[in-house]
Chain A
């Protein structure tokens, strides 16, 4: 009897040990990410912080590192972020709702699903080439903010669709059934029940997608975003530059002083990303608070 009791406890001890090992392994993995981020922040702040002043924020391109600034790039990035989300969000979320809530399971929707998943994996330069041909040349929008944000909207559409669908899927079916039982139509159910219940997941997807759009360089270079510009864009048909392009350009300059500019540019880009993400996190919080079930 004693031996019989001991055997499972041996196994249990092993499982407990295994559990502990995995716990610390996972903790290590978490810390690696944080450590790298801290290192990066330290490195960037130590190189770039002294360069970050009003002058830097309020100047435009220059061949002299000390005169160069990010005014046009900053405004360009904000414009691009706003218009990209304006184009991508309604289309992406609507497409996801159609695929998840309305479309039946047939060959056509399967075909759509496979293609959307594939699109999410296409390199961003390809989107740049598409944008150059379709928006810049055929639609004659040239190398404007509109072309840039339409291109980036295409780039993040698959990400938004996929993440929104996952969020919609996570809403329990019983919730929909309860809504139907009370006599609600399909649209009423989606609008009043499903969307609010899945808003957390949807916003997480939006945050990820938007952060990606803000950090993109390659597709914007392909559509002809400029590197040297003395003016600040004030309409969506204006030529523009964005922070990642300026950072990329400065890093490849031979003069050491430009490296400090690049670091300072990265700090501003990080701040803008945090700010936009902050807004999304706040909205997520506001919406989730309203859900009571």
Chain B
């Protein structure tokens, strides 16, 4: 037994010494090893990881790692300069922006894709042909809690049966966006629905429940289109497309699928872009996004917008275009960047 304890003790000491040594090593080598650290939204993860994978095939010696602590968690680490790039499924907030300023972090805001949130029901649901924004609000708003419990309460003629709601958990950016777009205020929602952070659980729930209705990101619908029924949405505003509109590549991109289309971003620390591997990666990112984004199930920005975003990156224009905008709903990078470009041209 003594032997075991002795071995354990030696190993323990060796490892604590080793710990000390490697700390020094890592601070020395951190300049030599080309590390790029990305953290943030799990919604943006598939795009960033797909592009990072391709990039590392071409650039040996660069090591990109990606974590998933959510948009908010990613920004926190971004502000502390623990990471180079933040994945975000929403624009930076005013508060986060001022924290960046206080910490001396200058950032470049790069929109990279669109995500459409889809509203789906069970395939056995024969009555729902489309939904108006006001009807979605009626079933999801906080006031509906305990009151709106039957399909017949949503629209006349629909069956007098219970409605079962499925939606994103409160920690996700998807939840923030949906509540703001439908209920008018971020995080305002009835509490008696089935929440899950895992969208596959929502897919399972809706596909096995005849009376279900739920929402999640469009790429989850694409993988499960056979077991779900997509509902077109009428935003009751004829200026951007009349009547109910299905989400797809075209309607999300041209802005007619409203109000449930949203942009996805990456934020880059300006200081990090001074490192050639980060600079190269960002340029590669913006160049290959148009090809890689569709593979991940999301929808690309206009080609011209990618060019404008890249030009803005190369000019190292820092800060966010979204800070002064009251609502995020319906604000599209394509238009924002075009109008900025036309202003600077004048």
Contact = CB atoms under 8 A, between A and B. Distances in A.
A131 to B, nearest CB: 14
A226 B200 contact: no
A15 to B, nearest CB: 46
A230 B64 contact: yes
B68 A221 contact: yes
A157 interface: no
B197 to A, nearest CB: 8
A231 B35 CA distance: 11
Nearest to A83: B15
Given A228-B64, A252-B42, A252-B198, A236 B18 contact: yes
B19 interface: yes
Contacts of B4: 283
In this complex, which of B22, B39, B199 has the most chain A Cβ atoms within 10 angstroms of its Cβ? B22
A254 B223 contact: yes
A227 B68 contact: yes
Contacts of A231: 63
B46 interface: yes
B12 interface: yes
B23 A196 contact: no
In this complex, which of B19, B48, B295 has the most chain A Cβ atoms within 10 angstroms of its Cβ? B19
A22 to B, nearest CB: 39
Contacts of A283: 4
B264 to A, nearest CB: 15
B65 A229 contact: yes
Contacts of B64: 228, 230
Contacts of A287: 1
B50 interface: yes
Contact of B53 (A63, A146, A256): A63
Interface in A182-223: 195-196, 221-222
A251 interface: yes
A283 B7 CA distance: 14
A18 interface: no
A89 B200 CA distance: 39
Contacts of A146: 19
B288 to A, nearest CB: 13
A242 to B, nearest CB: 13
B266 to A, nearest CB: 14
B65 to A, nearest CB: 4
Given A237-B22, A251-B200, A227 B67 contact: yes
B23 A228 contact: no
A238 B15 CA distance: 14
A63 B296 contact: yes
A3 interface: no
Contacts of A61: 49, 53
In this complex, which of A137, A249, A254 has the most chain B Cβ atoms within 10 angstroms of its Cβ? A254
B19 to A, nearest CB: 6
Interface string B7-50: 01101100100110011011000000000011100100110111
Contacts of A228: 38, 45, 48-49, 52, 64-67
B69 interface: yes
A141 interface: yes
A89 B15 CA distance: 14
B77 to A, nearest CB: 7
Contacts of B11: 86
Nearest to B9: A90
A141 B220 contact: no
Contact of B65 (A222, A239, A249): A239
Contacts of A63: 46, 49-50, 53, 295-296
B306 to A, nearest CB: 20
B157 to A, nearest CB: 34
A224 B77 contact: yes
Nearest to B63: A231
Interface string B213-224: 000010110111
A140 B39 CA distance: 18
A224 B82 contact: yes
B68 A224 contact: no
Interface string A235-267: 111110000000001011111100000000000
Contact of A230 (B25, B56, B82): B56
B297 interface: yes
A25 to B, nearest CB: 33
A226 B67 contact: yes
B66 A226 contact: yes
A62 interface: yes
Contacts of A237: 19, 22-23, 25-26
Nearest to A141: B23
A141 B26 CA distance: 10
B44 to A, nearest CB: 12
Interface of A: 61-63, 83, 86, 89-90, 137, 140-144, 146, 195-196, 221-222, 224-231, 235-239, 249, 251-256, 283, 287, 290
Given A196-B1, A283-B4, 12 more contacts: A90-B9, A224-B39, A224-B82, A226-B66, A227-B68, A228-B52, A228-B67, A236-B18, A253-B200, A254-B217, A254-B297, A290-B1
24 contacts: A61-B53, A86-B11, A90-B8, A90-B12, A141-B23, A143-B67, A143-B82, A224-B39, A224-B77, A226-B65, A226-B67, A227-B49, A228-B49, A229-B66, A236-B15, A237-B22, A239-B65, A253-B46, A253-B200, A254-B222, A254-B224, A254-B297, A283-B4, A290-B1
List of 9 A-B pairs having minimum Cβ-Cβ separation, nearest first: A228-B66, A63-B50, A226-B65, A254-B223, A237-B26, A237-B22, A254-B220, A228-B49, A252-B198
